[in-house]
Structure 1
Amino acid sequence: MACAQEDRLMTAAIDFGTTYSGYCFSFRHDFENDPLKVSANTWTAGTAGLVSLKTPTTVLLDSNQELVAFGYEAEDRYAELAEDEEHAEYYYFRRFKMTLFQSSSRLTRDTMLKDMAGGKQVKAIKVFAHAIRYLKDPAKQFMREAAEEAGISRNQLMIALEPEAASLFCKYLPIEKLQGSEGGIGAFKPGSRYLVLDAGGGTVDITVHEVQFNGTLKELDKASGGAWGGTRVDESFKEMLEEIVGGGMLEEFALSHTADYIDLFRDFETKKRNVKDDSPGKITLRIPITLQELYEERGEGEIKKKIRQTKYKDDLTWVGDRLRIDKPRFVELFSAACDGMVDHVKKLLKSPKVRGTNNILMVGGFSESPLLQKRIREEFPSCRVIIPQEAGLAVLKGAVIFGHQPATIAARISKYTYGISTNTKFDRSKHPMSKLKMVEGKEKCKDVFDKHVSIGQLLEIDDVQSEKSYWPLYSNQTQVSLPVYTSTIEDPSFVDEPECSYLGKLTVDIPKHGSDKEVSSSFIFGGTELKVQAVVKSTGETTSANFDFLEGEP
């Protein structure tokens, strides 16, 4: 997203989502007249006629790992290649962000992704321009570098946090475009609090904001969430089909009749978006005849007979190429996603930090589901549930507004404890012997977690946090390299404790000569990324501080 500088004629936002991606833009002169005048692209899925303001996050690469197609076009092109058995040399990636979200290993420049067909690997940084929807600090730099590789220069790129972008969009919306609003977000008085429920395709991001007296927003608790997005409903539908025809059969169908498999789930996507509480008693899906034919070829008989032998015998009916699902059974497909979301919000609203929050702002593509909206209203009757007309585009359009007006968030809550791995004087009365390190004849304690910021600490945007001094370990050093760590506990002692994770390193050049090589460093949480400032005390010069979030362990 382009920076909000006066010489920028246009601001554009790219939302690289788990399930769908898209972009919006607006010109500065339009923003000044009407902040909501934001343009969005429209995509159409040719084989199913599905019209969307976003396109699937699907990438097709050729044998040289060059882009062939993206989105609906990638799905259709790969389906054609698979039908003609010409797909073996291609790389096909679909919903790959969740693979990274679920990974237990650290994200680095060498992180690999396996394609969906043959399991061939490609570096993740080559596959997508912006990474991981549920952002962590390393992912932000990963996104920045990927965007630069795509041709977006560093000084023209900003990262917008999705719940904050959505809040900003809704703040400008008129009352009639905010379902459930009696006065609109913009009319909230200073001190008002609201929970942002950003329900996307893969993950759900939740944060709580308080309106400040100057109109900016203050985060009341650290952002949280989980994998309860719309794809969890897809997984439930797939699990139901697997119980009927078998997991192996469904996988074979996906590989041998790829186009039909894609059409089946596109049809389900349409039903998932539109089914309401007052919809007819049965939901009808078109099932490709090729699935029945494949089932019979494998000697399994008729699928409709198999249904009668399952727990779905009273809920599902197979007629020709149509599968009819009783609405209660269809609604049940939403249970896993909704249950996780509801339980988390209930726990969050009980927190003393967010006491008094009685507004829920629903944004994100999954928030457009009438069934999800109904569930949230039923579970939180004392809260006012507010849903913008364009819930699925709230983040994108809000990100464009954020690009024009970035100074919107006044303070955030730290999700982690931040500190630097350093060496201190060894104290035999309290330090374990395993941490003893001899340095130029002196006893040092290694791996000490020197805390700069505590988890849950309120961070005023662009304010300097905890300035501290460091010295080189060896007398002949010309650089001070400071490994930076995070922790999920408030007061870690050492950086190798299980709650700690390596984040990156800060490297500072120091004078080659002289005895005073003290370096003063501080953490500055500005915008949405961690910045570092370092000053060499002997010269008073501010040096460049490189925060490299994508290195391996030191």
Structure 2
Amino acid sequence: SNKKKVRTYLWPTGIGLEQSTKAPTSILFDSRQKFHSFGYQAEDTYTRLPDDHQKQWYYFKRFKMTLFKNENLNEMTRIKDVTGREMRAMNVFSAGIKYLRDHFHEMLQERSIFEEEDIQWVLTVPAIWNDAAKQFMRKAAVKAGINGDRLTLALEPEAAALYCKSNIRQGMFPIGHTFMIVDSGGGTVDVTAHKVHLSDKLQEVLPPSGGPWGGTKVDDAFQTFLVKVFGLAAIRKMSKAENLQIEREFEIVKRSFNPEAAMGMSPVNIWIPYCLRESLGRTAGIQQPIKIRGDKMSIPHQTFASFFDVPVQKIVNHVRELIAKPEVASADAIYLVGGLSDSKLLQAAMIEAFPHIQVHIPVEATSAVLKGAVIFGHDSDIIGWRMATSTYGTKGVVEFDHGRHPINQLTLIEGIEYCSDVFSKFITVGTTMRNGQATPYKSFSPVCKNQAIMPIRVIASPSENLTYTTDPGCRALGTISVRMPDLTGGTNRAVKVRMILGGTELKVEAVDENTGLTYAASFDCF
């Protein structure tokens, strides 16, 4: 099949006949926490609910950002909706994924007969998310009814890199070519750097980095502006339907705003409701001349451009820091993808900041992640080398050394002194690993003669060097339980363990040396 042939669904936006390839991450549940609607439909339904229903229902906006840098994320984590009411994050995310899965099934059934086992699912996640967030998304997808064996996680900037490499004209990605991807989405910005290898596979040369500087920062600046102009009291008088209409009007203007086309002179016009127009005369406002023309607010061109200042400057500064690193000194191209890549302000700022590097905006840059994910689903091995985003190892015990180990780590097992919570390192953060590469085996023995199960506890840490699993930043990824029913050898039995990089997953294998049985588990880490 042609992996470049990707069809996208067009969502009705609720403004005239306008459609979009993307739907907002908005989701609505009823008072019993039962899923009701997603995307534009959720937005429209929520605004039409009577006030008493709005207080009882659950409405989440931009909920994907709740996973960013949440170090304590687990299946019981709760998140707040727009009114402060809480639901389990797992239920919110799995309901959203299930809606998209079911919608996709409906689209397929209208066109052809298919079997579920024919579908390979690819779920994209920001590269800068931590391991816990990636694992969480996999669990949410499985809870939504997706077969875990048919599910691959793709890092968003990696998917974008594959799209660019596949769709840019031939000769733009020669062997040895180093390029950067700046994926500026709605919430986060992911930046990666890759090098084209002899095998035509891509090697990651810098670990993914970035921050919460996406297009929603432009929205936040606009909302702050409205409060300054009209006052908080007037803003709170708006109905939810009026607020939604302003948000959607702003989104359209934001995407089409071109500072060059208007020569910095023409103001930007946005619809506002009567309650705001009425309040303008009663507020001091701000220095710029804000004018009302009919039912529209006229915003000076430079004022509108200032809404982009924070994310644009954050992105430029971050890329500048990365380019100073020796690993990307030879980079001669930057590809802007994601929703904010359409911004002429961001494009101009990047071109001005990096005159010695070609800045490219590929065709359909806003869909680069989606279309690249399809390519990744066909061939996940095309990213041949990745850099470990954490240090990975296992938790265990060793015989206690009074001259070396802290006394608070001392534990007594069957009359023998052990040091508990000892970290055994397999992979160091920043290490470049080939896809499919395995670490050397390490052997571990049970500490009890009658121990029939040995737990292999997998640990991750952002630190390069650590001694104990109680050190700051350590977090448990999961446990493999190795059954050892033959107790003949007592504590002289052994289990050998290794770690293998496969795609975006870290696979951990544990082998009972007596029986030869292999136990394995995979963790979404890279």
TM over 0.5: yes
Question: Is 1:481 matched with 2:455?
Answer: yes
**Hey, what does 2:433 align to over in structure 1?**
459
Return the match for 1:137 from 131, 137, 143. 131
1:441–1:390 CA distance, 2 compared to 1 (3 A): same
Question: Is 1:195 matched with 2:180?
Answer: yes
Return the match for 2:506 from 511, 523, 530. 530
Partner secondary structure for residue 241 of structure 1: helix
Amino acid of the residue matched to residue 391 of structure 1? A
1:132 shift after superposition: 5.8
Amino acid of the residue matched to residue 124 of structure 1? A
Contact residue 465 and residue 522 of structure 1 kept, 8 A: yes
1:538–1:75 CA distance, 2 compared to 1 (3 A): same
Return the match for 1:71 from 39, 42, 52. 39
Partner secondary structure for residue 153 of structure 2: coil
Question: Is 1:94 matched with 2:61?
Answer: yes
**Hey, what does 1:38 align to over in structure 2?**
6
Unpaired runs of 5+ residues, structure 1, are 1-27, 176-183, 294-301
Contact residue 48 and residue 263 of structure 1 kept, 8 A: no
Return the match for 1:233 from 218, 221, 226. 218
Amino acid of the residue matched to residue 183 of structure 2? D
Return the match for 1:541 from 501, 517, 521. 517
Encode CA deviations 1:367-419: one digit per residue, 9 max, x unaligned.
11111111111111111011111011111011111111222011101111112
Q: 1:216 and 1:385 mapped to 2: Cα distance?
A: 22
Contact residue 210 and residue 318 of structure 2 kept, 8 A: yes
Q: 1:473 and 1:92 mapped to 2: Cα distance?
A: 51
Bigger Cα displacement from structure 2, 125-134 vs 527-536: 125-134
Q: 2:177 and 2:17 mapped to 1: Cα distance?
A: 43
1:248 shift after superposition: 5.3
Return the match for 1:336 from 310, 326, 330. 310
Q: How many pairs were matched up?
A: 491
1:137 shift after superposition: 2.1
**Hey, what does 1:19 align to over in structure 2?**
none
**Hey, what does 1:115 align to over in structure 2?**
81
Return the match for 1:160 from 150, 154, 170. 154
Amino acid of the residue matched to residue 113 of structure 1? I
**Hey, what does 2:275 align to over in structure 1?**
290
Contact residue 481 and residue 506 of structure 1 kept, 8 A: yes
Contact residue 505 and residue 547 of structure 1 kept, 8 A: no
Contact residue 48 and residue 267 of structure 1 kept, 8 A: no
Amino acid of the residue matched to residue 346 of structure 1? R
Contact residue 506 and residue 523 of structure 2 kept, 8 A: no
Q: Any residues of structure 2 matched to 1:385-534 within 5 Å, and which?
A: 385-515=359-489, 516-534=492-510
Question: Is 1:353 matched with 2:319?
Answer: no
Contact residue 337 and residue 366 of structure 2 kept, 8 A: yes
1:315 shift after superposition: 4.3
TM (norm. structure 2) is: 0.89
Contact residue 506 and residue 547 of structure 1 kept, 8 A: no
Bigger Cα displacement from structure 2, 492-501 vs 188-197: 492-501
| Identity within the alignment, % | 38
Question: Is 1:214 matched with 2:181?
Answer: no
1:52–1:91 CA distance, 2 compared to 1 (3 A): same
Amino acid of the residue matched to residue 514 of structure 2? S
Return the match for 1:366 from 333, 340, 343. 340
1:417–1:546 CA distance, 2 compared to 1 (3 A): same
Contact residue 503 and residue 549 of structure 1 kept, 8 A: no
1:531–1:102 CA distance, 2 compared to 1 (3 A): closer
Partner secondary structure for residue 223 of structure 1: strand
1:116 shift after superposition: 1.1
TM (norm. structure 1) is: 0.84
Question: Is 1:224 matched with 2:209?
Answer: yes
Amino acid of the residue matched to residue 112 of structure 1? R
Instruction: Give the alignment's Cα RMSD to 1 decimal.
Output: 2.1
Unpaired runs of 5+ residues, structure 2, are 98-122
Contact residue 363 and residue 387 of structure 1 kept, 8 A: yes
Amino acid of the residue matched to residue 188 of structure 1? F
Contact residue 511 and residue 517 of structure 1 kept, 8 A: no
1:227–1:458 CA distance, 2 compared to 1 (3 A): same
1:549 shift after superposition: 8.3
**Hey, what does 2:29 align to over in structure 1?**
61
1:249 shift after superposition: 4.5
Contact residue 169 and residue 394 of structure 1 kept, 8 A: yes
**Hey, what does 1:21 align to over in structure 2?**
none
